[in-house]
C-alpha cells in the first residue's frame, strides 16, 4: 500500500495563508509524490480580499475578485466543507456531512491552521440583528443589493420625506483600511447612480463614517490619513472622529454620546473575533491568536503550523506580524518550506520579511499609499494600486477580465441590477431600544413577534386617548392578528426595556402552525384570552 506511506498535509482555510501554503507546497512536491496536500475550505473559491470593496460599486464584476481554488491548485485535493472539529491528540479533522449523512474524519501528518478570523457582533447591542458585516464575498454582494434596494424603496416612498431621507442615509463604522474603502466605494456608487432615480433629490444622500480615534487609517502616516480625510470629505462623506458606535436598531445607529442617526444601512467593519475552531483548541494563544515560533510551528507541537490572521508570529525585530495579506503570503512560503524540510530532513527557515508598502483606495481615481517608506497619494497612488493588484491576481484569465471590467468602468455607467439572493428568511432576530415602536396601530401586519428579552407595552388609540392594554415580557408574543389575512394592527406596541425579539413571517408561521397542532392550540388559546382581557380594559377605560 503506497497510499499509506505518503504523508498528508491538511490545510484549513482558503484565504491568502492557506491557499499560498498549498501553492508553495505544490512547487516543492516531487513527481513521485512523497506527500499529498488536502485543503479544506467552506467555499470553492479564493477571495482576493483587497479588491472586495470594488464589488460594492460594481467597478469589477461580481466574480472578478474570486478564483476557483481547483484551478489555482491542480495538485491539491480540495474539500468544500465546514470543519466541525480539530482533534490535535489523534491528528484528525472532522468535517460536516454533505449529501451522505456521515461525518468525514480525515487524518493528517501535518496540519496548517490558516482560518483567519470572523465577524463577531456578539455583545454589541443590536448589531447582530441589524448591522451589515463586510468581510467576505457574500457580505459584499449583500451590501451591493441592499444599497440598490433602499434606493428603489426611496423612489417609491413619495409620501414620507423622513423615510426617504432615512433610506438615503448610510453609516459605516470603522475608519481602518476596510471601513475607508467601503465608505469610499459606497459613496461613489450611491452618488453615481442616483441620477437614474429622477424622483430622488441627490442632496438627500448622506454618507457618514464613524471612527473611534482622532484620525482615520491608523495603519498609515498621519499626512496620508489627513489627505484621505480631505478627499473623502470633498466627495461628500461626513467623517465623525472620536466617535464610537454604541448600539443599533432596525431604524438607527446610536452613537456613544447618545446621538441617533436615522438609517436603514449600518455597515460595521470593526468587530472581529478568532475563528471558533481556533478558540476551541487547547494550544498556546495570546489575544485569541495561536502562538507560533519563527518557523511558524505552533508552540509545543511538532506538526501543527499556524499563519495568517489566526496566528501570532514574531518578527525578527521583536515585533509581531500585522494581519495583512502581504505577511500571510510570505509566511505561507516559510511554512511550506519548513513542512517539506521536516519530511526530507532539511534545515528549517525562520520567517522574516520587510513590508513593501501599504495602500488604501479612496474610490474613483484616488488612493493613498506608502511604498518603501515613500508617501504617494491621489491619482498616482490609485494607478499604482490598480497595477500592483492586477499583477497579483491569480491567473491571466482573471487579470484579463478585471482589466476589461476596469476599462468598461471608465466609460460605462455603474451596474444597477438588484440581484436577489435567495428568499429572505421568514424567521429573524430584531432589536429595539426603549421608546421605539415595533409597530403602530393601523400598520399592515405580516409578522408575529416573540419576546426573548426585555419588555413591551401594548397601547391602543381609542377616541383620541391612548389606553395601555398590556405589558409583555420574555416568552410572550404579540402581533398574532397578522395571522388573519390582510389586517392592520389594532394597537401600537412600544419598547419599554431594550427588546430582543424573534419575528416570524405569517407565511412561515402558518406552515408551522398547520403542522404543529400543539403550537396552533396554544396560540389559539392565548388569542381568546387576550380578546377577553382587552375588552375588559377598554370597558373600564370607557367609564
Q: Which of residues 3-62 bind a second copy (CB under 8 A)?
A: 43-45, 61-62
Quote helix, strand, coil % in the chain, to nearest 5: 35, 30, 35
Among 3, 31, 74, 318, binds a second copy (CB under 8 A): 74
Report in angstroms how near the CB of residue 440 gets to a second copy at its nearest: 8
What's the residue count for the chain? 543
Site for a second copy in 192-211 (CB under 8 A): 196-199
Instruction: Assess 535 for contact with a second copy (CB under 8 A).
Output: no
Residue 158 vs 536, nearer CB to a second copy:
158
| Element at 117 (helix H, strand E) | strand 117-119
Site for a second copy in 422-441 (CB under 8 A): 422-427, 439-440
DSSP string, 478-518: E-GGGGSTT-B-SSEEEEEEEEEEEEEEHHHHHHHHHH-HH
The span from the CA of 95 to the CA of 91, in Å, is: 14
Helix (H, G, I), strand (E, B) or coil at 143: helix
Q: Looking at the DSSP assignment, which residues form a beta bridge with residue 503? A: 428, 449
Residue 403 CB: number of other CB atoms within 10 A?
15
Binding region for a second copy (CB under 8 A) out of 28-36, 77-85, 211-219, 313-321: 77-85
Instruction: Assess 487 for contact with a second copy (CB under 8 A).
Output: no
Among 32, 89, 100, 465, binds a second copy (CB under 8 A): 100
Backbone φ, ψ for residue 426 (5° rounding): -75, -15
Among 28, 226, 299, 416, binds a second copy (CB under 8 A): 416
Report in angstroms how near the CB of residue 275 gets to a second copy at its nearest: 18
Report in angstroms how near the CB of residue 45 gets to a second copy at its nearest: 4
Residue 178 vs 263, nearer CB to a second copy:
263
Q: What angle do CA 352, 356, 361 make, to 5 degrees?
A: 135
Residue 80 vs 537, nearer CB to a second copy:
80
Binding residues for a second copy, total number by CB under 8 A:
86
Among 256, 404, 533, 538, binds a second copy (CB under 8 A): 404
Instruction: Assess 484 for contact with a second copy (CB under 8 A).
Output: no
Residue 214 vs 519, nearer CB to a second copy:
519
Nearest CA among 352, 355, 384 for reference residue 367 = 384
The contact mask relative to a second copy for 78-97 (x = CB under 8 A, - = no) is xxxx---------------x
Report in angstroms how near the CB of residue 77 gets to a second copy at its nearest: 7
**Can you read off the three cell numbers belonging to residue 313?**
508570529
User: 38 near 77, Cβ under 8 Å?
Assistant: yes
Binding region for a second copy (CB under 8 A) out of 155-163, 252-260, 269-277, 386-394: 155-163
User: 125 near 431, Cβ under 8 Å?
Assistant: yes
Q: What angle do CA 282, 285, 288 make, to 5 degrees?
A: 105
Binding region for a second copy (CB under 8 A) out of 24-32, 66-74, 235-243, 272-280: 66-74
Residue 318 CB contacts under 8 Å (≥ 6 apart), including other chains: none
Residue 81 vs 289, nearer CB to a second copy:
81
User: 113 near 305, Cβ under 8 Å?
Assistant: yes
Residue 100 vs 234, nearer CB to a second copy:
100
Instruction: Assess 152 for contact with a second copy (CB under 8 A).
Output: yes
Residue 108 vs 523, nearer CB to a second copy:
523
User: 88 near 109, Cβ under 8 Å?
Assistant: no
Mapped to the 3 state alphabet, what secondary structure does 419-455 carry?
CCCCCCCCEEEEEECCCCEEECCCCECCEEEEEEEEE
Residue 284 CB contacts under 8 Å (≥ 6 apart), including other chains: 290, 291, 298, 299, 300
Among 29, 83, 114, 137, binds a second copy (CB under 8 A): 137
Report in angstroms how near the CB of residue 142 gets to a second copy at its nearest: 8
Among 511, 527, 535, 538, binds a second copy (CB under 8 A): 511
| Element at 320 (helix H, strand E) | none
Among 155, 315, 467, 496, binds a second copy (CB under 8 A): 155
Residue 223 vs 453, nearer CB to a second copy:
453
Distance of CA 329 to the CA centre of its chain: 23
Strands 35-41 and 76-80: parallel
Among 104, 165, 291, 530, binds a second copy (CB under 8 A): 104
Instruction: Assess 276 for contact with a second copy (CB under 8 A).
Output: no
Among 98, 202, 300, 434, binds a second copy (CB under 8 A): 98
Q: Looking at the DSSP assignment, which residues form a beta bridge with residue 206? A: 169
Per the listing, cell 460599486 goes with: 57
Site for a second copy in 447-476 (CB under 8 A): 450, 452, 475
Strand order in the sheet with 245-248: 245-248, 252-255, 260-262
Among 515, 531, 532, 543, binds a second copy (CB under 8 A): 515
Residue 415 vs 433, nearer CB to a second copy:
415
Residue 223 vs 507, nearer CB to a second copy:
507
Amino acid at each position: 500500500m503506497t497510499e499509506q506511506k505518503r504523508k498528508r498535509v491538511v490545510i484549513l482555510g482558503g484565504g491568502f495563508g492557506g491557499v499560498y501554503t498549498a501553492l508553495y507546497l505544490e512547487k516543492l512536491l516531487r513527481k513521485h509524490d512523497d506527500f499529498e496536500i488536502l485543503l479544506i475550505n467552506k467555499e470553492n473559491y479564493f477571495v482576493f480580499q483587497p479588491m472586495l470593496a470594488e464589488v460594492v460599486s460594481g467597478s469589477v464584476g461580481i466574480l472578478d475578485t474570486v478564483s476557483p481554488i481547483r484551478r489555482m491548485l491542480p495538485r491539491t485535493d480540495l474539500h468544500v466543507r465546514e470543519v466541525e472539529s480539530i482533534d490535535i491528540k489523534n491528528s484528525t479533522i472532522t468535517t460536516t456531512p454533505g449529501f451522505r449523512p456521515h461525518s468525514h474524519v480525515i487524518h493528517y501528518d501535518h496540519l496548517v491552521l490558516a482560518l483567519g478570523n470572523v465577524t463577531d457582533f456578539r455583545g454589541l447591542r443590536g448589531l447582530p440583528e441589524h448591522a451589515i458585516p463586510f468581510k467576505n464575498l457574500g457580505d459584499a454582494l449583500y451590501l451591493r443589493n441592499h444599497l440598490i434596494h433602499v434606493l428603489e424603496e426611496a423612489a417609491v416612498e413619495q409620501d414620507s420625506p423622513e423615510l426617504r431621507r432615512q433610506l438615503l442615509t448610510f453609516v459605516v463604522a470603522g475608519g481602518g483600511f476596510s471601513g475607508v474603502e467601503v465608505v469610499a466605494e459606497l459613496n461613489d456608487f450611491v452618488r453615481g447612480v442616483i441620477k437614474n432615480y429622477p424622483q430622488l433629490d441627490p442632496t438627500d444622500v448622506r454618507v457618514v463614517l464613524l471612527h473611534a480615534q482622532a484620525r482615520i487609517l491608523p495603519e498609515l502616516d498621519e499626512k496620508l490619513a489627513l489627505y484621505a480625510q480631505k478627499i473623502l470629505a470633498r466627495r461628500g462623506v461626513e467623517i465623525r472622529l472620536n466617535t464610537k458606535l454604541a448600539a443599533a436598531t432596525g431604524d438607527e445607529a446610536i452613537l456613544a454620546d447618545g446621538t441617533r442617526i436615522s438609517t436603514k444601512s449600518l455597515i460595521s467593519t470593526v468587530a472581529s473575533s478568532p475563528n471558533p475552531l481556533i478558540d476551541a483548541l487547547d494550544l498556546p494563544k495570546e489575544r485569541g491568536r495561536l502562538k507560533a515560533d519563527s518557523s511558524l510551528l505552533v508552540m509545543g507541537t511538532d506538526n501543527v503550523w499556524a499563519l495568517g490572521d489566526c496566528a501570532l508570529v514574531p518578527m525578527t525585530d521583536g515585533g509581531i506580524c500585522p494581519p495583512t495579506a502581504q505577511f500571510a503570503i510570505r509566511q505561507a512560503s516559510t511554512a511550506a518550506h519548513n513542512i517539506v524540510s521536516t519530511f526530507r530532513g532539511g534545515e528549517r527557515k525562520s520567517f522574516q520579511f520587510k513590508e513593501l508598502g501599504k495602500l488604501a483606495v479612496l474610490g474613483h481615481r484616488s488612493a493613498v499609499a506608502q511604498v518603501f517608506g515613500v508617501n504617494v497619494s491621489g491619482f498616482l497612488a490609485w494607478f499604482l494600486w490598480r497595477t500592483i493588484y492586477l499583477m497579483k491576481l491569480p491567473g491571466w484569465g482573471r487579470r484579463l477580465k478585471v482589466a476589461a471590467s476596469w476599462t468598461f468602468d471608465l466609460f460605462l455607467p455603474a451596474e444597477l441590477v438588484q440581484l436577489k439572493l435567495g428568499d429572505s428568511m421568514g424567521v429573524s432576530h430584531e432589536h429595539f431600544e426603549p421608546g421605539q415602536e415595533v409597530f403602530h396601530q393601523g400598520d399592515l401586519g405580516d409578522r408575529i413577534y416573540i419576546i426573548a428579552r426585555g419588555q413591551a407595552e401594548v397601547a391602543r388609540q381609542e377616541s383620541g386617548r391612548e389606553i395601555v392594554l398590556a405589558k409583555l415580557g420574555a416568552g410572550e408574543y404579540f402581533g398574532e392578528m397578522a395571522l388573519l389575512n390582510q389586517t392592520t394592527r389594532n394597537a401600537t406596541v412600544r419598547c419599554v426595556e431594550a427588546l430582543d425579539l424573534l419575528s416570524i413571517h405569517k407565511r412561515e408561521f402558518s406552515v408551522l402552525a398547520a403542522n404543529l397542532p400543539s403550537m396552533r392550540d396554544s396560540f389559539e388559546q392565548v388569542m381568546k384570552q387576550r380578546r377577553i382581557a382587552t375588552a375588559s380594559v377598554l370597558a373600564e377605560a370607557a367609564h
